[in-house]
Amino acid sequence: MTLIGRGLALLGLILSPSAYAEWQVNLMPGVTEISRAVYDLHMTIFWICVAIGVVVFGIMLYSIINHRKSRGAKAHNFHENTLVEIIWTIVPFFILIGMAVPATATLIKMYDKGEAELDIQVTGFQWKWRYHYLGEDIDFFSSLSTPREQIANESEKGEHYLLEVDNPLVIPVGKKVRLLLTSNDVIHSWWVPGLAVKKDAIPGFINEAWTVVTEPGIYRGQCAELCGKDHGFMPIVVDVRSEEDYKLWLAEMKQAKAQASDAATQDWTLADLMEKGEEVYNRTCAACHQVTGEGIPGAFPALKNNPIMVAEPSAHIDVVLNGKAGTAMQAFRDQLDAVELAAVITYERNAWGNNSGDLVTPAQISKLKQ
Amino acid sequence: MSEKPTIFQMFLSALAAMFGVQSSQNHTRDFSAGHTWTWMLLGVVVMALFVAFVILLVTWALSMAGA
Ligand SMILES: [Cu+2]
C-alpha cells in the first residue's frame, strides 16, 4: 500500500462508527461514594481549566485580530505595571486555593480508616494476585484467564481480553471492605478505576485502602506499577454481590476447599495427573517456562531435557514447593493445592519427551506441605 | 531620591520578593543603599515567620477537619 493509501485506511478506521462504540475519554464516575467525589472533583477542575482557557485564548485571539499590523496597530512599549503584575499573581493564587479546598476534603474522606466490616489481605505476585479473607480461612490466587491462543493472535480476542481472571475478588455490596496491600516480590499496584482505588503493593510494607461499593456488578482493573515481563497480564476483577450471594459464595469456597483435601487422599492415575498437570502448567508456569517447556534462555530455565526431570524426584519437588530464594521462581507451596502440585510435577516429569515415567502422588505432596 | 529604606520598608520589600512582584522604583531604592547582611538577616526572619504562619494554618485546618 502506498503511504497515502495507508493514511486513508487509517482515517477510515478513525472515522468508522465502530471505533467510537467504546469511546470513553473521560474519567468514569464509578460505583462508590469516593469514586463519585473524585469524578466531581475532576469535572470541577476541568471546567475551571476550560474557563481559564477561554479567557486567556479569547483575549489573545481578540488582540491578534483587532490589533494586527495591517490595521496599523503600534506595539506599546512599556516595562512594568505593578498593578497588573499583582493581579496576575493573586488571581491564580485564589484559583489554586479554590481547587485545593475540595481536593483536600476528598483526600480526607479517602483516608478515613474507620471500622471495616471485612478485611482482605491483597498480595501482589509476579504476575497474579492473592486474596486472603482475614478471619474467614479463605485464601486464593487470582490469575489471568484469557486463553493463550487469544494472546498469540491465533483466535478472535474476547470481550474482556486481558481483563478476566479465574478467581475474582468477591465482596458484599454496601459493606466497608478494607484492603491490606503488600507484595511477595516487586512493587505492584492494585488499581480498579470503578472503585477509585489505586494503591501500591510493596514488599515488606502494608498499605491500606478501603471501599464501599454501592452497586453489585463486575468491576475490572489492572496492575498499575510496571512489575516485569507479564505486568500487563495480571488483571484484577472485583465481583460485587448482594449480602446473600456473598454468603453463598463463602459457603461454596469452604466446601470446595474441603473437597480439594478429599481429592488429595484419592488414588490418581498417571493419565489423570498428566491431564490436570497440563492445565495447571499452562495456567501457572508457562508464562516463564513456556508452553513448550523450553523456557527463555538466560531468564527462565528449560524444563524439557532438564536432568532434574529424570533424576530422583525430591529435588524437583523441593524447588516447586519452596522456590529458589532471590529468583523469579516462587514457592508454589501455598499457591497450589496438593493435587495441583502433584499433577504439575508429574506433568513436567513426563511431558516434552522427559518421559521419566514417575508419578508423584497428591498424598506424597500433602505430607510435605504440613 | 536614593535614601536609605527604613526597616519597615525593607520588611515590605522582603514580602514583595516572596510574592514575586516589586515596583522598579522600590527596587532601585533597595539596591542603592544599605548592607547585604541586613537583607540576608531579614530574609531569614521573613522565612521563619512564613514557616510559623504555615504551621499555624495547618494546625487550624486540621482542627477544622476534626483531626
Ligand atoms: Cu504487577
Do A230 and A255 fall within a single domain? yes
- Looking at residue A148, which CATH number applies to its domain? 2.60.40.420
| Closest Cβ opposite residue A89 in set B20, B23, B24 | B20
Look at A7-11, A171-175, A233-237, B18-22 and tell me which has the smallest mean pLDDT: A7-11
Do A243 and A134 fall within a single domain? yes
Do A251 and A276 fall within a single domain? no
pLDDT of the residue at A31: 93
Residue of A nearest to B58 (CA): A104
> CA of A222, closest CA in chain B: separation in Å?
33
Q: What is the overall mean pLDDT for chain A?
A: 88
In angstroms, the CA B35 to CA B38 distance is 5
Do A338 and A278 fall within a single domain? yes
C-alpha A195 to ligand 1 mean position (Å): 18
Query: Is residue B59, in this structure, part of any structural domain at all?
Result: yes
pLDDT of the residue at A25: 83
Query: Is residue A225, in this structure, part of any structural domain at all?
Result: yes
Query: Is residue A7, in this structure, part of any structural domain at all?
Result: no
Backbone angles phi, psi at A333, to 5 degrees: -45, -50
Per-residue pLDDT reduced to its tens digit, A322-344 = 998 888 898 898 888 888 999 99
H or E element that contains A223: strand A217-223
Q: Report residue A19's pLDDT band, with 50, 70 and 90 as the boundaries.
A: very low
Residue B2 above 80 pLDDT?
A: no
DSSP A368: H
Residue A233 above 90 pLDDT?
A: yes
Q: What is the CA radius of gyration of chain B?
A: 16
Question: Is B65 in Cβ contact with A89 (below 8 Å)?
Answer: no
Do A147 and A225 fall within a single domain? yes
In angstroms, the CA A163 to CA A100 distance is 34
> CA of B38, closest CA in chain A: separation in Å?
25
In angstroms, the CA A32 to CA A192 distance is 11
Do A243 and A270 fall within a single domain? no
Query: Is residue A359, in this structure, part of any structural domain at all?
Result: yes
Residue A1 above 50 pLDDT?
A: no
C-alpha cell at A321: 514447593
In angstroms, the CA A201 to CA A211 distance is 16
In angstroms, the CA A137 to CA A253 distance is 10
C-alpha angle A26-A27-A31 in degrees, rounded to nearest 5: 135
- Assign A244 to helix, strand or coil: helix
C-alpha cell at A243: 449480602
Do A362 and A229 fall within a single domain? no
Cβ-Cβ contacts under 8 Å, B62 against chain A = none
Name the pTM for this structure: 0.71
Question: Is A79 in Cβ contact with B21 (below 8 Å)?
Answer: no
Query: Is residue B49, in this structure, part of any structural domain at all?
Result: yes
Residue A248 above 90 pLDDT?
A: yes
Q: Report residue A15's pLDDT band, with 50, 70 and 90 as the boundaries.
A: low
Per-residue pLDDT reduced to its tens digit, A276-307 = 999 899 888 988 899 999 999 988 999 998 98
Q: In sequence order, which residues have a C-beta less than 8 Å from that of residue A270 and are 6 or more positions away?
A: A346, A350, A359
Q: If contacts are CB pairs under 8 Å, which of residues 86-105 in chain A contact chain B?
A: 86, 89, 104
CA nearest neighbour of A123 among A143, A108, A148, A109: A143
Do A164 and A257 fall within a single domain? yes
End-to-end CA distance of chain B: 53
Dihedral angle sign, alpha carbons of residues A87, A88, A89, A92 = positive
The count of other CB atoms within 10 Å of the CB of residue A2 is 7
Do A153 and A232 fall within a single domain? yes
> Domain count of chain B?
1
Query: Residue holding cell 515567620?
Result: B49
Per-residue pLDDT reduced to its tens digit, A114-128 = 788 999 999 999 889
H or E element that contains A320: helix A314-322
pLDDT (average), residues A148-174: 91
Residue A363 near residue A265 (C-beta atoms within 8 A): yes
In angstroms, the CA A165 to CA A298 distance is 29
Do A88 and A146 fall within a single domain? no
Query: Among A110, A133, A167, which residue terminates a domain?
Result: A110
Query: Is residue B1, in this structure, part of any structural domain at all?
Result: no
Query: Residue holding cell 462504540?
Result: A21
pLDDT of the residue at A186: 93
For residue A273, what are the domain limits? Answer: 266-369
Q: In sequence order, which residues have a C-beta less than 8 Å from that of residue A350 and are 6 or more positions away?
A: A270, A274, A356, A357, A358
Indicate the burial class of A359 (C-beta count within 10 angstroms; 0-12, 13-18, 19 or more).
Answer: middle
In angstroms, the CA B48 to CA A303 distance is 66
Residue A89 near residue B20 (C-beta atoms within 8 A): yes
pLDDT of the residue at A5: 59
| Closest Cβ opposite residue B21 in set A79, A86, A104 | A86
Do A50 and A160 fall within a single domain? no
Model ipTM value: 0.72
CA B26 to chain centre: 14
> Domain count of chain A?
3
Pick the more confident residue, A53 or B23: A53
Question: Is A80 in Cβ contact with B24 (below 8 Å)?
Answer: yes
Do A280 and A255 fall within a single domain? no
Query: Is residue A21, in this structure, part of any structural domain at all?
Result: no
Percent of chain A with pLDDT over 90: 52
Query: Is residue A325, in this structure, part of any structural domain at all?
Result: yes
In angstroms, the CA A181 to CA A347 distance is 34
Indicate the burial class of A122 (C-beta count within 10 angstroms; 0-12, 13-18, 19 or more).
Answer: buried
For residue B35, what are the domain limits? Answer: 7-65
Residue B1 above 50 pLDDT?
A: no
